Structure 1
């Protein structure tokens, strides 16, 4: 089963593989973000322009239900292009995104760090809440370099999507990165998952090159302030090296008894 089944133009049915950790009836924003990328790929495509920045603002938890995605072109230039997307269900808008495409041209690339080593599977992680507790967690192959789902604090982890994003359609490396990039606050939680919510209200992905391959690595750290807000910052890698960053603004609150 894929994360989504296409129902028509811009319309999709979400499966249990999209479930997030906070409520089984709502989606993790990773699949939703990847689905936005999937739809934007067919919106005014032009050779030589590549997605370089994506910002997703989350208005409310996205239900595990049928979704509609509407896209548009906000600015269509020769060197840059700005796109927009809106995700709705049952007539309600749940999130909105903007994306920048930047033209490709030869430039002197600066040196960047190589990726951390890809570790073998861990039996400890295989039995954790991350890989058994909700649909999205089970839909990825998780490999922790540092940290882990049973620990708080910074973490470095590789992730590989093991489930198709859209039934019968190719999942691109950029979509694979988008699926994983929203997990920074989860793998690097600064406070206990059992006692507090730390839900992101946005996600910003910034890339200086297009990712390649199936595996994406995230080096993530989360800080929580004294007044109910937090911030997660993640460096993103593919198997060739660093590709960009992801940031998330967090709403933090005690869980209700």
Structure 2
């Protein structure tokens, strides 16, 4: 299916909106594969990162870690996004953002911003061992999965794929803007794609098991660059209903950081 709508369209602000508030409309491009009225968490994660980036920005400060907490199913339609500085500082600061639907918070994010420093002489970043997106293959979305977010991302699979159990390696590139009229930043692309870590890393049969992530944490050791984001993803399932999905994050220049998601696991 061809998806052309941006994930979100900007709406006019209300007269009584407090500072740092934006209203958006979530389009059908945000829809998850399971519920016709709920979003995949990739688009809301990107929207929260956008709010963190726009919150009292300073060019000398870089996002180092972002954690997204999933408070409930994020609906399509009108949403309110707010942001604030939680802890101001000269070299370290904490910013936060929240998405609400009909007055109820449905997702929150917190991000640490750290002062940029020239550490090139001390850098220990390893080169990527993951072939580039040109080496991947396009695989159709599994039958019965609903259109939306998965179609709004250009997926190139190196190993495994959605709907197949086992670890997976894939590249993803957004086909649509996060917000209408804007070019998504590399950090927004990172968040939108990295939320699929759980899907790419799935080790359980989707027909027999439910394994849902309650969060997404992204740590980077350098700022991401470009539009392609690579996931080298795997997961571990424990004996007590808990699991963890994790991935090494790449851009076309090499490794960027790590993603992790807590999973609640139970039989269907």
Shorter-chain TM-score tier:
over 0.9
Match of 1:27 in 2: 39
RMSD: 1.6
| Structure 1 partner of 2:258 | 245
Partner of 1:52 in structure 2?
A: 64
TM-score by length of 2: 0.90
Are the aligned partners of 1:217 and 1:236 in contact in 2 as well (CA < 8 Å)? yes
Which string of whole-angstrom CA distances, capped at 9 and with x for unpartnered residues, describes residues 132-162 of structure 1? 6330100011111111224201111000111
Spell out the pairing of 1:90-109 with structure 2 (5 A cutoff): 90-107=102-119, 108-109=122-123
Q: 1:232 aligns with which of 245, 248, 254?
A: 245
Q: Contact between 1:129 and 1:149, CA under 8 Å: does it hold in 2? A: no
Q: Per the alignment, in what secondary structure is the counterpart of residue 52 of structure 1?
A: strand
Query: Counterpart of 1:160?
Result: 173
Partner of 1:112: 126
Residues 68-217 of structure 1 mapped to structure 2, 5 A cutoff: 68-107=80-119, 108-117=122-131, 118-120=133-135, 122=137, 125-129=139-143, 133-217=146-230
> Could you say which residue in structure 1 is the equivalent of 2:9?
5
Q: Distance in 1 between matches of 2:125 and 2:238?
A: 34
For the residues of structure 2 that align with 1:41 and 1:122, how far apart are their CA atoms?
Answer: 33
Answer yes or no: is the 8 Å Cα contact 1:158–1:215 preserved in 2: yes
Residue 251 of structure 1 and its aligned partner are, at CA, apart by 1.2
Distance in 2 between the 1:83 and 1:10 partners?
16
Q: Name the TM-score, length of structure 1 as normaliser.
A: 0.94
Partner deviation per Cα, 1:73-119 (whole Å, 9 max, x = no partner) = 01111111100111100011112211100110111211313151124
List alignment gaps of at least 5 residues for structure 1: none
Give yes or no for contact 1:73–1:83 (8 Å, CA) kept in 2.
yes
Contact 1:223 1:231 in 2 (8 A): yes
Gaps of 5+ in 2: 13-20
CA deviation after TM superposition for structure 1 residue 41, in Å: 1.6
Given candidates 37, 57, 62, the residue that maps to 2:74 is 62
C-alpha distance in 1 between matches for 2:67 and 2:75: 20
Structure 2 counterpart SS, 1:33: helix
Deviations 1:160-192 (A, max 9, x none): 111111111121111111100110110111111
| CA distance 1:44–1:231, shift in 2 (3 Å) | same
For 1:83 and 1:127, the matched residues in 2 are separated by 36
Name the SS of the counterpart of 1:22 in structure 2: coil
Count of residue correspondences: 253
Report deviation, 1:30.
Answer: 0.8
Q: Which of the numbers 41, 50, 54 marks the counterpart of 2:53?
A: 41
